[in-house]
A and B are shown apart, each in its own frame.
Chain A
Amino acid sequence: MEDAGFILGSYFLTFATVGLFAWRTLRSGRKLADQIPDDDKYWL
């Protein structure tokens, strides 16, 4: 594939950013959920 570095790099950049954002969102949610009783979690 011509220009494979740029093309694969753009996919890597996208998925790395998305993965990092998703991981950060899950981690902060878990930390906060530890400090809140289940009764206050409206989604349960």
Chain B
Amino acid sequence: MTTIDPARTELQPSEPPPQRRSTGTRATRLVGIGCITAMGWLVAFGLGFSPADRDQKESVRILYVHVPTIWLAYLAFVVTAVSSGLYLLTKKQSLGWDRVAGASAEIGVAFVAVTLAVGSLWGRLTWGVFWQWDARLTTTALLFVTYIGYLAVRRLGGSHQQRAKRSAVLGMIAVIEIPLVHFSVKMWRSLHQEATVANLDGDTKMDGIMLFSLFVGVIAFTFLYVWLMLHRTRAMAMEDMLEDRGLDDALIARRAEAANQQNGAH
């Protein structure tokens, strides 16, 4: 015979559902799975299936991560400029555009840092030196420093709207550096090789499996960019909410303090 515990039959007060402790959703998980899969393919093709180059030999394998990272940095900075423009030019001046611009610039800076570091390893194998004050390398370093400056400007004091306005102006000016970096190898005499895939004459002189490996790298880093953007913009929205809440709390506390002082004086 079963006994009924009276304590267990009482209605329990309804507890609030637990907080969702992340910026993840089903979409981010799917993009994340796509990213990990594509990264696995990149390693397999970049280090395994792809053959060595006739001139560059095995060092060509470095280009399968070096080229996608700078392409993605270009994309990230173009997104920053477009979002900045949308913030400034639309009537609503939504802070959402500002957060997209900021998140994209952060990711772009990380990608440029990787490009510079990995490129210096490739340079050591190909040219015999880690660094040369060559046009392509110098303009890329300048691009990196400019966007570090952009991120520093975002951290200056003021309201969210002030932050958004000044960084939007900078974001639209800084993007001019991208064509400067890309065409630097044509404009000046440069050690760095010219574009093999994205060249103006449209003639890609590259072996099929090598081109495919590069393509896999671009796909993998694009998934990564989308995944990082989704998480980072959501985190930035929460940072803004908490800042606003902190300001509201400080105002309430200050008003209460002033009211207490007035009551004490009477």
Contacts and interface: CB of A to CB of B under 8 A. Distances in A.
B93 interface: no
Given A11-B47, A34-B19, A6 B114 contact: no
Contacts, number: 108
Given A11-B43, A14-B118, A43-B234, A25 B228 contact: yes
A34 B25 contact: no
Interface size class, chain A? 20 to 34
Contacts of A4: 58
Interface stretch (B119-127, B141-149, B161-169, B173-181): B119-127
Interface of B: 17, 19-25, 39, 43, 46-47, 52, 57-59, 61-62, 65-66, 69, 107, 110, 113-114, 117-118, 121-122, 124-125, 224, 227-228, 230-232, 234-235, 237-239, 241-242
A26 B231 contact: yes
A15 B117 CA distance: 12
Given A3-B125, A43-B25, A10 B118 contact: yes
A3 B231 contact: no
